[in-house]
A and B are shown apart, each in its own frame.
Chain A
Amino acid sequence: MSPDFLNFIETFLNGLMAGVMYSLVALGFVLIFKASGIFNFAQGVMALFAALTLVGFQTGQVPFAHLIRAIFGVEILHWGAGMPTILALILTMGVMVALAFLIERLVLKHLVNQAPIILFMATIGLAWFLEGLGDLMWGADIKPMDVGLPSGGSFWWEDLTATWAAQGSDYYGMYIDTLDVSAAIIAVALVVALSLFSQYTATGRALRAVADDHQAALSVGISLRRIWVIVWSLAGFVALVAGILWGAKSGVQFSLSLIALKALPVLILGGFTSIPGAIVGGLIIGVGEKLAEAYIGPLVGGAIENWFAYMLALAFLLFRPQGLYGEKIIERI
């Protein structure tokens, strides 16, 4: 095989890995949109908040340390000891569930039956609130995330692929980050778990019923408010996973909340209401973006990753306005 072709494969594979990461964020959006028709812009910030909380628990930071210092002048930044990763994970999940509960109680309950744009705006307000809260609780500095996932290039894969190239060509094998691989595996496991959950448990069935038809679900005795808490907790869980994986990749910092913006083209490509859509859309966007950066980027001066995904999704939408797997849009007078 020629090195050019192998480079193409390498770009393609890395695109797939990046796509899985995008899907992971998009998944949280889809869960909430299906169950409540809310386009939850705060998903990215939820991932940031979850990651910050996890790292905070792990390293034993004192929450609100800077605020306490500002008000009382007391200097306590650290408890002195961290906690084991498992315990920190469980506690963080607890925080996310509490957050879901509070969001339902304080925000969603009061906004039932409002126009979608109002709900969308409310989630942006929520995003700002969480962003401020996260920074206020744990400080705004960049923190490393370490939950014991492997990272760095895979030498085995590099050596293996080096032998594929034709004899005598300068090819040193493909680079694939083991972190990306484990992220992909975790994402697949998450999707399988979510589909099993929604297919075989009573709660999962209730979730699907609500997604199908709110009124009908209400009439057979499903409590919408309970479902919303569950859905937002699930989205919090997905956000936690996304936060861990993205955090392990690039450190826990403010830019983590911007991954929501990466997930949006994935969403419109795959359709707001479809879990398979989020996965396939993510893969298409990931691969498209990496290939475009490698092959179109040099022609126009590079750094096109920021907008290429949007243009791809936009071009796609012109042919299929409801996205790849979205429900067919039927309009009536």
Chain B
Amino acid sequence: MLYREAGDFKTTYREDNQTFPIKSERILFWAAMAFAFLVVPFFIDSYWEKSVLVPLLVWALVALGLNILTGYCGQVSLGTGGFMAVGAFACYKLMTAFPDLNIFFVVLLSGCVTALVGMIFGLPSLRIKGFYLAVATLAAQFFLIWVFNKFAWFYNYSASGQITAPERAVFGIAVTGPNAAPWATYLFCLTILFIFAWFARNLTRGRVGRSWMAIRDMDIAAEIIGVEPLKTKLSAFAVSSFYIGVAGALFFSVYLGAAEVTEAFGIDKSFLALFMVIIGGLGSILGSFLGAAFLVLLPVLLKNLFVGSLGWPTDVAAHIQIMLIGGLIVFFLIVEPHGLAQLWRLAKEKLRLWPFPY
């Protein structure tokens, strides 16, 4: 009913290859986008911005970046937190060194810096595979955090070791700093995320994305048919780190405002990002969004339930929360190892045939 479609009547390559082949899905997508861009900014308040929407957007960007590396290119990385820190500190240094540079370009440049760092730490992937690589990327995580803690130049010799985002504006409207309006920060993140998701979708279905997937599915076979492992793996590391760096810059400058590196970009962030990708669905753009939504919204929901409604002490609530999240992750992996995106795919198949399944 909802997904009305009978048979395969596509006559052009373009039609066959579109992102949303079904008309109702296209309408749904643009309606959601219109809602997010045109309706939400009028109703957003500080609570929704700080604890739900902005973290959701930032984490979706992180998950997108990690999904490019892990989901599309098959290289498991546990260094996400470290790369986010690179983006954040690059952003901070650029913001303070070039006060006149527009924050949009600052964020993009921080992404470029992170891409370079990511490529350096991606080099071992040419030699090391699987879990060995996952553990090797932990080296990046710990090393980067240590560097940002140790060398005071990175945090401009501030006494507390913290970095604080100064106020910067886009089109004269502040998006960072304490005076930024909720709708401004929200729209800023949303715009960046929209562009990047668009770009990722088109990248992954083109030549580059296909070579990533070839390497993921079987690297030796891919090498034999002419996919260069060096170029492919390093490009995956570069693009993924670029996304994660941009997300790290946003995480620090727009969302947190002030950050302390060990606390804000610790190893738990790396695991969280990996969880988002796996729960959402490896190798799926939609999955990155669903995974991020699940893991950002769930703690907020649980906290509201336990502390807000039941009135339990926060420490007990925190313990139960971590227990439940762990349990739910295991549960989801058992029920659907291919992630939420796969559930959506199955639902779509069902909906297509819905009133007459045979």
Contacts from A to B (Cβ < 8 Å): 39, 66-67, 70-71, 107, 110-111, 114-118, 120-122, 124-133, 135-136, 140, 261, 264-265, 267-268, 272, 300-301, 303-304, 306-307, 310-311, 313-314, 317-318, 321-323, 329, 331, 333
Tell whether, in the assembled complex, residue A125 and residue B320 are in contact, meaning their CB atoms are under 8 Å apart. no
Instruction: Decide if B94 is an interface residue (CB 8 Å cutoff).
Output: no
Tell whether, in the assembled complex, residue A261 and residue B267 are in contact, meaning their CB atoms are under 8 Å apart. yes
User: Cα distance A166–B312 when bound, in Å?
Assistant: 65
Given contacts A125-B329, A310-B142, contact A118 B337 (CB under 8 A): yes
Instruction: Decide if B322 is an interface residue (CB 8 Å cutoff).
Output: yes
Instruction: Decide if B173 is an interface residue (CB 8 Å cutoff).
Output: no
Q: How many A-B residue pairs have CB under 8 A?
A: 144
Q: Which of A121, A300, A307, A317 contacts B274 (CB 8 A)?
A: A121
Contact string against A for B residues 320-331, beta-carbon threshold 8 Å, 1 for contact and 0 otherwise: 111111111110
Tell whether, in the assembled complex, residue B136 and residue A268 are in contact, meaning their CB atoms are under 8 Å apart. yes
Interface residues of B in 150-172 (CB under 8 A from A): 150-151
Instruction: Decide if B224 is an interface residue (CB 8 Å cutoff).
Output: yes
- Tell me how far the C-beta of A282 lies from the nearest C-beta in chain B, rounded to whole angstroms: 15
Q: Interface-forming stretch among B4-12, B126-134, B200-208, B236-244?
A: B126-134
Tell whether, in the assembled complex, residue A121 and residue B333 are in contact, meaning their CB atoms are under 8 Å apart. yes
- Tell me how far the C-beta of B196 lies from the nearest C-beta in chain A, rounded to whole angstroms: 24
Chain B residues in 8 Å Cβ range of A333? 218, 220-221, 224
Tell whether, in the assembled complex, residue B329 and residue A132 are in contact, meaning their CB atoms are under 8 Å apart. no
Tell whether, in the assembled complex, residue B323 and residue A321 are in contact, meaning their CB atoms are under 8 Å apart. no
How big is chain B's contact interface, by range?
Answer: 35 or more
Chain B residues in 8 Å Cβ range of A120? 131, 134
Contacts from B to A (Cβ < 8 Å): 76, 124, 127-132, 134-136, 138-139, 142-143, 145-146, 149-151, 218, 220-221, 224, 267, 271, 274-275, 278, 282, 310, 312-313, 315-316, 319-330, 333-334, 337
Q: Which of B135, B142, B319 contacts A306 (CB 8 A)?
A: B142
User: Cα distance A266–B220 when bound, in Å?
Assistant: 28
Tell whether, in the assembled complex, residue B142 and residue A317 are in contact, meaning their CB atoms are under 8 Å apart. no
14 contacts between A and B (CB under 8 A): A66-B313, A67-B316, A70-B316, A107-B334, A121-B278, A126-B326, A128-B326, A131-B326, A136-B316, A140-B319, A307-B146, A317-B128, A321-B127, A329-B129
Chain A residues in 8 Å Cβ range of B220? 331, 333
Tell whether, in the assembled complex, residue B142 and residue A116 are in contact, meaning their CB atoms are under 8 Å apart. no
Q: Which of A71, A110, A126, A314 contacts B124 (CB 8 A)?
A: A314
User: Cα distance A300–B319 when bound, in Å?
Assistant: 39
Given contacts A70-B313, A125-B326, A128-B323, contact A311 B139 (CB under 8 A): yes
Chain A residue nearest to B327 (CB atoms) is A129
User: Cα distance A125–B325 when bound, in Å?
Assistant: 8
Tell whether, in the assembled complex, residue B271 and residue A307 are in contact, meaning their CB atoms are under 8 Å apart. no
Chain B residues in 8 Å Cβ range of A128? 322-323, 325-326, 329
Q: Which of A124, A314, A329 contacts B136 (CB 8 A)?
A: A314
- Tell me how far the C-beta of B324 lies from the nearest C-beta in chain A, rounded to whole angstroms: 7
- Tell me how far the C-beta of A136 lies from the nearest C-beta in chain B, rounded to whole angstroms: 4
Q: Which of A67, A129, A268, A317 contacts B326 (CB 8 A)?
A: A129
